[in-house]
Amino acid sequence: FTGNHLDCNFSSQQCFLSSPITT
């Protein structure tokens, strides 16, 4: 994941923006 700032939780293996958008 590159470009926008993403919050990644490796514990749940999910990355998401400040908004409720899951990729």
What's residue 12's pLDDT? Answer: 59
Which residue's structure tokens are 């939780």? 9
* Paired tokens of 22: 């899951």
pTM score, whole prediction? 0.16
**Identity of the amino acid at 8:** C
pLDDT, tens digit only, all 23 positions of the chain: 444 555 666 665 666 555 555 55
What's residue 1's pLDDT? Answer: 45
What's residue 9's pLDDT? Answer: 60
8 bridge partner residues: 15
